[in-house]
Chain A
Amino acid sequence: GIQVEQSPPDLILQEGANSTLRCNFSDSVNNLQWFHQNPWGQLINLFYIPSGTKQNGRLSATTVATERYSLLYISSSQTTDSGVYFCAVLYSGGGADGLTFGKGTHLIIQP
Chain B
Amino acid sequence: GAVVSQHPSWVICKSGTSVKIECRSLDFQATTMFWYRQFPKQSLMLMATSNEGSKATYEQGVEKDKFLINHASLTLSTLTVTSAHPEDSSFYICSARDGGRTYEQYFGPGTRLTVT
Contact = CB atoms under 8 A, between A and B. Distances in A.
B110 to A, nearest CB: 5
Contacts, number: 59
Interface residues of B, number: 25
Interface string B38-76: 100011111001000000010100000000000000000
Contacts of A35: 107
Given A43-B93, A96-B49, A98-B34, A33 B105 contact: yes
Given A86-B43, A97-B97, A98-B34, A41 B91 contact: yes
B36 to A, nearest CB: 7
A45 B109 contact: no
B113 to A, nearest CB: 12
Give chain A's interface residue range (CB within 8 Å of chain B). 20 to 34
A33 B93 contact: no
Interface of B: 32, 34, 36, 38, 42-46, 49, 57, 59, 91, 93, 95, 97, 102-107, 109-110, 112
Interface of A: 30-31, 33, 35, 40-43, 45, 48, 50, 86, 88, 90, 96-104
